[in-house]
């Protein structure tokens, strides 16, 4: 399982989650941040650090936001060479 960043992050991109991620697996998109599903180790550090409660385990994403699971996967298909947000 991996974690997914959902709608509350749109336009906010606080990056508190980036600072606590031990795997550097959070990437910055145009509107929001994304968590790389293959690099995420499910440590939950990002979830508790998010000030807008936008991060959920993929199996626990609220129903209105389940499309963010695919949006997250699509980001990494479209940007295979993206650099983690901490390295920008």
86 pLDDT tier (thresholds 50, 70, 90) = confident
Q: Which two tokens stand for residue 42?
A: 């499910």
User: In the prediction, which pLDDT does 87 show?
Assistant: 63
Range of the domain at 71: 3-87
Q: Which two tokens stand for residue 44?
A: 């939950």
pLDDT tens digits, 48-77 = 999 999 999 999 999 999 999 999 999 999
Indicate the burial class of 34 (C-beta count within 10 angstroms; 0-12, 13-18, 19 or more). buried
CATH number (domain holding residue 59): 3.30.70.20
pLDDT tens digits, 22-42 = 999 999 999 999 999 999 999
Q: What angle do CA 14, 34, 31 make, to 5 degrees?
A: 60
pTM here is 0.93
Residue 84 sits at φ, ψ, to 5 deg, of -55, 150
- The domain total for the chain is 1
């Amino acid at each position: 399982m991996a974690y997914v960043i959902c709608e509350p992050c749109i336009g906010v991109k606080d990056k508190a989650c980036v600072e606590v991620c031990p795997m550097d697996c959070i990437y910055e998109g145009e509107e929001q941040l994304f968590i790389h599903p293959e690099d995420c180790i499910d440590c939950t550090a990002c979830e508790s650090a998010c000030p807008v409660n936008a991060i959920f385990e993929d199996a626990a994403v609220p129903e209105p936001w389940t499309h963010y699971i695919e949006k997250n996967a699509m980001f990494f298909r479209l940007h295979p060479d993206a650099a983690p947000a901490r390295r920008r």
